[in-house]
């Protein structure tokens, strides 16, 4: 922990305790602005000329110029960026060329599905990841430890889309334990009332037990596949943190008091890796959100990931950039949240 706080301290020499929250927010704003600048730049690199898209290929020069000025493309870049930001503030992310509806509403529609998958996988991965890391750190070098390291190494190295495909092959095609791709079977997909967008909750609320069971049958496989990935990362990093803490002096003193290894691990070492744990969990969640582009394609899960890949194949620029903003924004927010939580739960900073 000392290493982390030292690292953080050296970068934050000028911050007073009171203004730390404010400065943190400023930092967050700057990072988000950076992301926006990036997507803005990308939109200008689009191979598809937006003017021609509207005016048509055979438009005359004057029509071209007119449409161009309507779109605001003849203004200086900074002005355009400002317009971009103000549009964003009003929730205007452009119109998807594929669905012909506003990108913002498309994203709103698909985001809950991604959140549902990511959250369930996170719970699975966090639970098994923490347990496995504790068991491994309890007796370093033992068979259990080596097995844990092997499992986490494999999970860390496996391509998620491949694992998902093999999972579908085994559990859907061969064993029929999973209901396969998608969130619900076709029979229910049109009768489901999308109240929250989360299929588990919506199917529970609909009162039809068959529908709920079907939702679970569809959900469990992608959750386990993604969860194993999350678990691998969490075990790997948490175990390293636990072992590093275990070499500290206070652990020797605890042993000198007569505390057993298990007690030391749980009651002495574990509270000290709280900061790393929060960070690891936040990063896992962010990685799951980011990996949604791959997993949702494999499992035909109607979330933001699949929305983005469909947009990619169709060169639907506003949709691509809108999804990038959403996922990138979540990533940045999770980073900031982890930092804030680590700071707030450290008794040394109270």
Partner 1 sequence: MTQNLTDLELAAPRRRRRPRVTSLAIGGTLVAILLLAALFAPLLAPFDPNAQIISARLLPPSSAHWLGTDGFGRDLLSRVIYGSRPTLLLVSLILLLTIPVGMLVGICAGYLGGWTERVLMRITDIFLSLPNLVIALALVAMLGPGLLNGALALALTSWPPFARQARAETLALRRSDYLAAARMQGINGLRLMFGHILPLCLPSAVVRAALSLGGIILSAAGLGFLGMGVQPPTAEWGSMVAEGSKVIFDQWWVAAAPGGAILFASLAFNLTGDGLRDRLDTRNAN
Partner 2 sequence: MPTDSTPLVVADNLTISSAAGVALVKNISFTLGRERVALVGESGSGKSLTARSLMGLLSPALHLQASTLSVAGENALTLSESRWSQLRGSRLAMVMQDPKYALNPMRTIGWQVAEPLKLHARLSRAEIKEKVCEMLDAVGLPQPAQLMQRYPHQLSGGMGQRVMLAIALIADPQFLIADEPTSALDHAMRDQVLALIRRLVEQRNMGLLLISHDLQQVSEHCERVMVMYQGNILDTLPAANLPQATHPYTRTLWSCRPSKATQGKPLPTLDRAALEAYREHD
Long-range contacts of 205-214 (CB under 8 A, 24+ apart): 211/184, 214/179, 214/184, 214/185, 214/188
User: What residue 197 binds from partner 2, partner 1, none (CB within 5 to 8 A, per partner kind)?
Assistant: none
74 binds, among partner 1, partner 2, none (CB under 5 to 8 A by kind): none
By CB under 8 A, residue 168 contacts partner 1: yes
As measured in angstroms, the least distance from the Cβ of 238 to partner 2 is 16
CA–CA separation, 279 and 78 (whole Å): 36
Is residue 3 at the binding interface for partner 2, with CB under 8 A as the rule? Answer: no
- Does 149 bind partner 2 (CB under 8 A)? Our answer is no
Q: How far apart are CA 150 and CA 60, in angstroms?
A: 65
User: Minimum CB separation from partner 1 for residue 191, in Å?
Assistant: 28
Q: Does 328 bind partner 1 (CB under 8 A)?
A: yes
Beta bridge partners of 95: 102
Report, in Å, the least distance between residue 273 CB and partner 2. Answer: 9
* CA–CA gap between residue 96 and residue 81 (Å, rounded): 20
Residue 195: both structure tokens together: 């109240």
Asked whether 185 and 179 are in contact (CB, 8 A), the reply is yes
**Interface stretch with partner 2, choices 8-16, 220-228, 253-261, 315-323 (CB under 8 A):** 253-261
Residue 323 site contact among partner 2, partner 1, none (CB < 5 to 8 Å, cut-off depends on kind): partner 1
Q: Which does 328 bind (CB under 5 to 8 A by kind): partner 1, partner 2, none?
A: partner 1
Residues 6+ apart with CB under 8 A from 138: 144, 145, 261, 262, 265
| 25 near partner 1, judged by CB under 8 A | no
Judged by CB under 8 A, the stretch of 89-97, 113-121, 185-193, 284-292 that binds partner 1 is 284-292
Range 43-62, binding partner 1 (CB under 8 A): 45-47
| Residue 203 burial class via C-beta count within 10 angstroms: exposed 0-12, middle 13-18, buried 19 and up | buried
Length of the chain: 350
Report the interface residues with partner 2, using CB under 8 A: 1, 248-250, 252-261, 268, 271-272, 274, 347-348
């Amino acid at each position: 922990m000392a290493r982390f706080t030292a690292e953080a301290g050296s970068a934050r020499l000028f911050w007073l305790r009171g203004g730390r929250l404010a400065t943190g927010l400023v930092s967050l704003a700057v990072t988000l602005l950076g992301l926006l600048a990036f997507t803005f730049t990308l939109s200008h690199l689009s191979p598809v000329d937006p003017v021609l898209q509207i005016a048509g290929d055979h438009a005359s020069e004057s029509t071209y110029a007119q449409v161009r000025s309507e779109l605001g493309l003849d203004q200086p870049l900074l002005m355009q960026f400002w317009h971009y930001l103000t549009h964003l503030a009003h929730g205007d992310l452009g119109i998807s060329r594929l669905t012909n509806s506003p990108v913002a509403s498309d994203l709103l529609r698909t985001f809950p599905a991604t959140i549902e998958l990511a959250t369930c996988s996170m719970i699975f991965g966090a639970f098994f990841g923490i347990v496995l890391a504790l068991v491994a750190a309890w007796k370093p070098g033992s068979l259990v430890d080596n097995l844990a390291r092997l499992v986490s190494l494999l999970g860390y190295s496996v391509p998620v889309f491949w694992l998902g495909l093999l999972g579908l092959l085994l559990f859907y095609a061969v064993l029929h334990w999973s209901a396969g791709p998608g969130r619900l079977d076709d029979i229910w997909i049109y009768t489901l009332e999308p109240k929250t967008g989360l299929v588990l909750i919506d199917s529970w609320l609909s009162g039809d037990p068959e529908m709920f069971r079907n939702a679970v049958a569809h959900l469990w496989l992608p959750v386990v596949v993604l969860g194993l990935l999350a678990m691998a990362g969490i075990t790997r990093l948490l175990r390293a943190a636990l072992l590093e803490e275990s070499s500290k002096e206070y652990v020797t003193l605890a042993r000198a008091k007569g505390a057993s290894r298990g007690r030391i691990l749980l009651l002495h070492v574990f509270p000290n890796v709280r900061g790393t744990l929060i960070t690891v969990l936040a990063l896992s969640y962010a990685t799951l959100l980011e990996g949604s582009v791959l997993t949702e394609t494999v499992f035909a899960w109607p979330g933001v990931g699949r929305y983005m890949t469909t947009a990619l194949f169709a060169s639907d620029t506003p949709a691509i950039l809108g999804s990038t903003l959403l996922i990138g924004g979540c990533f940045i927010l999770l980073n900031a949240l982890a930092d804030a939580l680590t700071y707030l739960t450290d008794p040394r900073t109270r």
